[in-house]
Amino acid sequence: MDATETTAALADRLDTARTTRTAVPSLTDTHRLDVDGAYAVQRALVARRRARGERLTGVKLGFTSEAKMAQMGVSEVIVGRLTDAMRVTDDGDLALGGLIHPKVEPEIAYRLGRDVDPGDPTDFLLAAVDAVAPALEVIDSRYRDFRFTYEDVIADNTSAAAYVLGPWSPPRDLRDLKVVLTSGIQETTGSTSAILGDPARALRALRDICHRRVIPLRAGDVVLAGAATAAVPLTAGTTRAEVEGLGAVTVRGV
């Protein structure tokens, strides 16, 4: 098998894992995969979704907390793609039967008011933001027991499964805002400073990585900046995230 065939075969494996809700072993158990190769698999995986009619709606960052980076032994954030099929309406239902072992995390979402050129160091992503919102991201690794390497999770589109956006409001300083995630009787408290110290730093990291990975940033795109607490299992019933001064966002697992 040459590199292109391997990329296609690994993308098929992850695509089938998602569509049949059957977790698979780590790709790196059987294949040598570097970071470039992992992004190539991600591209092929997302291309399969687009070929089925899904539309790209933005990007998401992962590994934006120091704890998670240390756990994975890495120092660089990862980027994945969002599509319209992943979007769940605020206060809407998300069918748990369509997922493998979903977890949910509270995030900050940015919306871009214009295109950004990731290759232009004077084109600041933050200056292109026209609105911010509280958000929930549902992650659902296609790997058994969420057991994966850094390269595996990149290939798997950074575990992206679904996202929910709360009310948009004008851009503002998002440093050090209290975040409360409530799921059933479980309450988890965090802060936006868990996102690289300041979610605005996540935007700087995003521009760099989009430049290197040739990912366009377009007007209207949503950017999920990263998690403000550890992810918790998404269970039946209501999960809500409240971000100080920004409002709340809710999803119902059904």
Of positions 165, 227, 228, 232, contacts ligand 0L1 by CB under 6 A: 227
Does residue 141 touch ligand 0L1 according to CB under 6 A?
yes
Chosen residue from 15, 137, 151, 242 binding Mg ion by CB under 5 A: 137
Q: How many residues bind ligand 0L1 (CB under 6 A)?
A: 12
Residue 153 interacting with ligand 0L1 (CB under 6 A): yes
- Beta carbon of residue 107, minimum distance to Mg ion (angstroms, whole number): 6
Give Cα 102 distance to the centre of its chain: 13
41 binds ligand 0L1 (CB under 6 A): no
Instruction: Write b or e for each residue in 66-101: b if 16 or more Cβ atoms lie within 10 A of its Cβ, otherwise e.
Output: eebbeebeeeebbbbbbbeebbbebeeebebeebbb
Backbone angles phi, psi at 151, to 5 degrees: -70, -40
C-alpha distances (whole Å) from 13 to each of 4, 28, 85 are: 14, 13, 20
Instruction: Look at phi and psi of residue 155 and say left if phi exceeds 0, alpha if psi is from -120 to 50, else beta.
Output: alpha
- Is residue 152 at the binding interface for Mg ion, with CB under 5 A as the rule? no
Which position among 7, 26, 42, 159 is part of the footprint of ligand 0L1 (CB under 6 A)?
A: 159
How do beta strands 129-139 and 160-165 pair? antiparallel
Residue type, 236: A
Indicate which of Mg ion, ligand 0L1, none lies near residue 49 (CB less than 5 to 8 Å, by partner kind).
Answer: none
Residue ranges in contact with Mg ion by CB under 5 A: 137, 227
Residue ranges in contact with ligand 0L1 by CB under 6 A: 60, 62-63, 137, 139, 141, 146, 153, 158-159, 226-227
